[in-house]
Amino acid sequence: MLKLSVLDQSPVRAGGDARTALAETIALAQATERLGYNRYWLAEHHGTAGFAGSSPEIMVTRVAAATQHIRVGSGGVMLSHYSPLKVAENFKLLENLYPGRIDLGIGRAPGSDGLTAAALAYGSEVGIEYFPTKIADMVAFLEDEIPATKPFRDVRATPAVSHSPEVWLLGSSDQSAAYAAHFGLAYSFAHFIAPQVTGPVLRYYREEFKPSGKVSAPRANAGVFVICADTQQEADYLAASRDLWRLKLNYGQHLPYPHPEEALAYDYNSQELQVVDANKANRFAGTPESLYTQLSEFANEHGLEELLVLTITHDFDKRVRSYELLAEAFDMAGHGAAAN
């Protein structure tokens, strides 16, 4: 059976604020746990007015405390900015607080503009070329093994854990897939970012995968943007917000999420309409029945047993309703209660 999980970027709506967005993250986590979703991942973004989640470690702590059994993790920590030891210790601590429930998703994208990325990494080596070594060191610290960086061979991450968190590498390209395959990590592909290469990248990951001590065979899921509504007309209406938001993102404008009426009133020129149309490839919008078919076919096509559902609407109640309808379509009722 196809598992559904949640990816949450803690979006800020036009006219709203970060405090409200973070409160909605907690409420959504509790709602999706009741609905039977498998895991709940918190994203990392910097330098944007559109997302409030700049520290997934803090949000993982808060969400895990507000829920009972759903797996909670980062989707993900942008490891290129940070000390592998510190990341390992953060998540070992979380694993001790919430045993058997913590996922550590890592990514190599900056999650910000270049200057902000440099500020985040201030005091340490800056550059994507350090990322593979950081992966090796972080995994070693998690597993109480000798890290790849020789001067740190006697360093151990604390506190000790009986079982390490699940480690996932997130990405949207063959380079991220290559790292996941080389280090024998589970891989989460961001279809909502790069839908055109979903198939080739996942095939490459599986073909190049090298078993590790934690993952013996390729293991992958995919992040998909979904809006589910009672009618196709309503789904398209709600999705208009994303169409405008994505267009503005192409212009380098990291804005709060617009209301559908603002999006529908926007005067698109012919070139912008082409961009909007092209961007529709990275989202699924429809009724429960149509999305059950589309998502099932997508998962079967790419050999996936789990999808991470990212849903953003301007109105929070519509966002919750989307997850409710999707859970009903996939007959997830009672799964959350059964996990208690």
Q: Minimal CA–CA distance to 37: which of 338, 340, 335? A: 335
pLDDT of residue 108: 85
Task: Give the number of residues written for the chain.
Answer: 340
Q: Where are the domains of the chain?
A: 3-338
Q: Are 225 and 284 in contact (CB under 8 A)?
A: yes
Return the H-helix or E-strand segment holding 72.
strand 71-74
Q: Is the peptide bond before 159 cis (omega within 30 degrees of 0)?
A: yes
- Here the tokens at position 332 are 């997830």
Per-residue pLDDT tens listing for the chain (340 residues): 899 999 999 999 999 999 999 999 999 999 999 999 999 999 999 999 999 999 999 999 999 999 999 999 999 999 988 999 999 999 999 999 999 999 999 998 654 466 666 666 655 554 556 889 999 999 999 999 999 989 899 999 999 999 999 999 999 999 999 999 999 999 999 999 999 999 999 999 999 999 998 899 999 999 999 999 999 999 999 999 999 999 999 999 999 999 999 999 999 999 999 999 999 999 999 999 999 999 999 999 999 999 999 999 999 999 999 999 999 999 996 554 444 3
Residues paired with 51 in a beta bridge: 11
pLDDT of residue 80: 87
pLDDT of residue 130: 83
- Hey, what's the torsion of the CAs at 308, 12, 66, 6, to 10 degrees? -10
pLDDT of residue 41: 98
Residues paired with 74 in a beta bridge: 42
- Here the tokens at position 46 are 């910097």
Residues paired with 166 in a beta bridge: 103
pLDDT of residue 52: 97
pLDDT of residue 304: 98
pLDDT of residue 338: 40
- Kindly tell me the number of DSSP H helices and DSSP E strands found in the chain: 13, 10
pLDDT of residue 336: 47
CB neighbours (10 Å) of residue 154? 7
pLDDT of residue 87: 96
> What dotted CATH number matches 3-338?
3.20.20.30
